[in-house]
Amino acid sequence: MLKNHLKLAFRRLIKNRFYTLINLLGLSVGFASVLIIFLFVKKERAFDKFHSKLDRIEHLAIVTERDGTAQKSTRTSGPILVELATDYPAIEAFSRYELSGGSKFVSDSTISEDLAISHNTFQVDSKFNEIFDFKLKYGQYPDFDNDHSAIIITESKAKALFETGQKAIGRSVFSSFNKEEYIVKGVIEDIPESSSLRFDCLTSLMGAYPSVEGKTSFIKMWGNNIVNNVVLFKKGVTREQRELVAHEIAELYNTRVVHQELPSSFEFQPFKEAHFDLATNDHFSDQTDESYLLIFSTIALVILFASLANYCSLTLSQSVERVKEIGVKRTVGASTMNLISHYFFESVILTSSAFILALIIIEVSVPEIESVINKSLGVQIFSDLTLLSKCFSAVVLVSFLSILYPAYIASRRGLSNFKAHGSSALFRRTSFIYVVNCFQAAVFVFLLAATLFVNQQLDFVQNENLGFNKEHVLMVSVNTRESIFKKNELKATFVKSPYVQHAAISSSYPVEHARPTYAAKEELNFIQYTADAEFLGVFDFDLIEGRPLENLEHHKNYTILNETAVEALGFDEPIGKKFNGKEIIGVVADFHAESKRELIKPLAIRLFEHDGFGWILMRLKSDNIQAAMDDVLERYEEVTGSSKITYRFFDEQYDKIYASEKVIKYLMQIFTGIALLISFFGVFGSSSYTVRRRVKEISIRKVLGANLIDLNRAINKSGLRYLVISALVAIPLSYWWINDWLAQFSYQINVGALNYAPVLMITALLIIPAMLFQVVKVYHTKTVNYLKDE
C-alpha cells in the first residue's frame, strides 16, 4: 500500500510539472528564508549566553541628567567598588576592566617590527575570570593585581605569534609601542562571536596605571571615569536590593567628587541586556536594536504563512482537475482517509524535496548575503543535526496541515458531486481562497511600503542635509609613538601635497561619539571641538556670521558657535559676547555632529591648544584616491621614519554609526523581495483556482461573443475588489508602523498619501497580471476542450 501511494504521488507530481515547479520554488524559497531568519534571530538572542552566571552579572552605570535628557555610561571611577564592595554583602565579586584599544605585539623570536600582530587589549583585575566564562585552554589565569607583566592571549593570536598555543606559555611578547615586555601565562579559547566583550589579550589594569610617588594614579581618582566596573551579585539578590546599593554608591560618589557640574546617579545594567542596550554603547560589540528582531520574526511568519497558503491554494486549484480521478477512486471503494493519504504522500514528497532544496539555497546564498551586509548571520545549518531534524519535522507537519483543507473538500462529498471541469458544486465556495488572496495582497502592500520608506529614511540620514561635506576626507592618526610629537611637521608636509586642499589638526570630528562639556556660568551643555583654523574648510562648514578662527596665539581666546548654541544662549547679536570664558567671533550653520537620531546640540569650536592625542584631517582634491594615499604615505614616512600609518576615510567612519541600520536595510530588502515573490505566486495560484472553477462559464461567454476584456472584468471582478480591500487595510497599518519606527529619529522623511503612489503602482503592475494570466490562457485555448460532454 505504501509503495502504491508513493508511486501515485510521484506520477501525479511529474504529470503536473508546472504546478509542481511553482510549489517547489515557493516552498523552498520560503523554507530557506524562514530558516535563515530563525537562525539569525537565534544567534542574536544567544549573545553572552555562554556565561554561566549571566543572570547575576551587571555593569555599574553612571547617569547624568542634563537639559532634560539622561546620559548613561558604563565608564565609571576606578576606586568606587574597591572601596565600597566589601560594605555590601549582596556583592559576591567585582572586577574592573578597560579597553585600551589596538596594540601591536611581537614575540621574543620576531626580528622585525613589520611582523607585529595587532591585538585588541583589555586591561583587567584578577577576578575578571571569576565573573566571565572565557575558557582557559593552556596555562593558568594570573594574579593581574600583583603580576603586572602577565598577559593572556587568545588561541588564534598565540598561533600567529608562536605557531601553537602550548608553545606560547612562558614566552615573552613585546609591545611595539613602548617595547614593554609581557610574559604569556595563559591561552584562552578564541572569543565566541556571540560575545559582547571582544578582545585578543588581557593585561593587568593596575600595571597600566603604576603608582608614582607624590601623585595619585588615574585609576585611583574619584570622578575620573575611565574604567568599567562589573559586579557579580549573590544568588537571590533582588532588583530592589541592587537599586539600594546603586543609590548608596551615588550618595558617596557625589560627596567625594566635588568638582562635577551636576550630581550623578548610578544604576546597575544587566549584562544580559548589553547586546540590545543601544543607549549604553561604550564598548560592546555588534549591538542590535531588539525591535528589528521582532520585525524579522514577523517577516518570517508572514513568509511561512504565505508559502503554505500558496501551497494550499495551488493544491485546491489542482483539485478542480482531479474531480474525475477522485470520483473513480470513490467508485472502486476508496475511503475518505485513503483519498487524504494521496494528498499526504504528495505533500511529504514535495515538502521533503523543497526542504532539501532550501538547504542548498541557504548554503549558496548566506555567504553572498553576508558579503553584502558585511556581517556574520551566524547561520550554520549543519552544525546542529538535532535542530535540523526538528526543523524538518516541523516543515512536514505544517505542510500536512496546509493540505488538509483541499483534501477534505475533495474527499467529503458523494459520487454525484464529481462532475466535469469546474462544474462541480464541490468547488463553488470560494471564501477561503479569497481570504487567502486578500491576506497575501495586504502583506504585499505592507511590506513593499515598509521597505520603500525604510530605505528612504536610511538614505536620508546618511546622505541628505548633513550640513557638511563628508566625501574625500582622509583622517590620519597622530596618536602613535612615531607621530604624536610630530603633528605640526606632518600637517606642514601634507599641506604641500598636490592632492590635499585643506589640512587641520583636530581632537575629534563630526559624528564621533561626543561627550558633552558643561558651561557652568551659562548653565549650558554643549559639544566642543578643538581644532586648527582649517577645520572649517576640511568639512565645508558654512560660516554664516562673523569671521573664522586663525592659527594665531591670541585666537586661543576666541570661539565659534553653531546656530543652536546661539539660540540656546538667547543672543540676538552673538559676535563679541562671551561664552565659557571665550569671545565669540563667528557662527556656523547647524550641522549634524551626531546621528540623526539625536537633535542638533549646542556646539563650540576653538583652537587646538595642547599636545595631546588627535587626528590630521585632510580634504583631498582628487578622486584618484590611490595616488593621494601613496603621496600621503610617502610624506608620512619622510617625517616619522615609519611606514606604519593609521588612517581612516571619514565617509566610511560616518557610515559605521548606521551600521546596524544598513544591515537591517539590506536584510529587509532581501526578505521582503522573497515575501513579495511568494505573495505573487499565491495570487497566481488563487487566480488559477478561480479560472479553473469557472472554465466552462468562460468558454460559453467566449462563444457568445465576449472579448478578453469582458471576460477579465467578469472573472476577476471579485479578486480586484479584494485587492482594493487589502490595500485599504494595509496602507493604514503600514502608515502607523512606519511613523512609529520613524519616531526614533529626530530628523526624518515625511510620509504622506502621495508617497504611496509608487507602492500602489508596483502592486498593480505585479499582482494584476498574475490575476489576468489564467483568463488569457483559457481564452486562447480551443473552446471545445471545455464545452464537450464528459
Q: Which pLDDT tens digit goes with each residue over 608-664?
A: 766 556 788 999 987 788 888 889 888 988 888 877 777 888 888 777 777 767 777
Please tell me the predicted confidence (pLDDT) of residue 95. Answer: 92
Angle between the 290-321 and 404-411 helix axes, to the nearest 10 degrees? Answer: 20
Lowest mean pLDDT among 22-36, 49-63, 316-330, 362-376: 316-330
- Give me the half-sphere count of Cα atoms (radius 13 Å) on the Cβ side of residue 39: 20
Distance separating alpha carbons of residues 143 and 264, to the nearest angstrom: 33
Report whether pLDDT(691) > 80.
no
Report whether pLDDT(428) > 60.
no
CB atoms within 10 A of CB 773: 15
| Interval 574-601 mean pLDDT | 88
Please tell me the predicted confidence (pLDDT) of residue 429. Answer: 47
Each residue's pLDDT tens digit, 153-191: 999 888 888 888 888 898 888 876 567 888 999 999 998
First vs last Cα of the chain: how many Å apart? 30
Report whether pLDDT(232) > 90.
yes
Angle between the 2-15 and 17-45 helix axes, to the nearest 10 degrees? Answer: 100
Distance separating alpha carbons of residues 124 and 34, to the nearest angstrom: 41
Stronger pLDDT, 777 or 594, i.e. the higher one: 594
Please tell me the predicted confidence (pLDDT) of residue 589. Answer: 93
What does pLDDT average to over the chain? 79
Backbone angles phi, psi at 8, to 5 degrees: -65, -40
Q: Residue 132: pLDDT band by 50, 70, 90 thresholds?
A: very high
Lowest mean pLDDT among 257-271, 293-307, 332-346, 641-655: 332-346
Q: Residue 257: pLDDT band by 50, 70, 90 thresholds?
A: confident
DSSP 8-class letter at 148 = T
Q: Is 299 helix (H, G, I), strand (E, B) or coil?
A: helix
Distance separating alpha carbons of residues 206 and 96, to the nearest angstrom: 10
Nearest-Å Rg of the Cα atoms of the chain is 34
Q: Residue 270: pLDDT band by 50, 70, 90 thresholds?
A: very high
Please tell me the predicted confidence (pLDDT) of residue 67. Answer: 55
Strand partners, 584: 559
Residues in the chain: 790
Longest dimension (CA), the chain: 110
Residue environment code for 87-114, b if the CB has 16+ CB neighbours within 10 A, otherwise e: ebeebbbbbbbbbbeebbbbbeebeeee
CB 561 within 8 A of CB 579: yes
**Segments of 257-339 assigned E as strands:** 265-270
Backbone angles phi, psi at 723, to 5 degrees: -65, -40
613-617-622 Cα angle (round to 5):
155
Please tell me the predicted confidence (pLDDT) of residue 128. Answer: 92
Report whether pLDDT(361) > 80.
yes
Report whether pLDDT(538) > 80.
yes
| Interval 249-261 mean pLDDT | 77
Q: Which of 244, 662, 651 is nearest to 472 (CA)?
A: 651
Report whether pLDDT(281) > 60.
no
Backbone angles phi, psi at 105, to 5 degrees: -125, 145
Q: Is 2 exposed, middle or buried (0-12, 13-18, 19+ CB in 10 A)?
A: exposed
CB 29 within 8 A of CB 361: yes
Please tell me the predicted confidence (pLDDT) of residue 258. Answer: 65
Distance separating alpha carbons of residues 498 and 641, to the nearest angstrom: 21
Distance separating alpha carbons of residues 262 and 66, to the nearest angstrom: 8
Q: Residue 416: pLDDT band by 50, 70, 90 thresholds?
A: very low
Backbone angles phi, psi at 192, to 5 degrees: -60, 150
| Interval 685-689 mean pLDDT | 67
488-489-494 Cα angle (round to 5):
95
Each residue's pLDDT tens digit, 4-37: 656 665 566 666 666 677 777 778 888 888 888 8
CB 663 within 8 A of CB 369: no
Q: Residue 421: pLDDT band by 50, 70, 90 thresholds?
A: very low
Strand partners, 138: 187
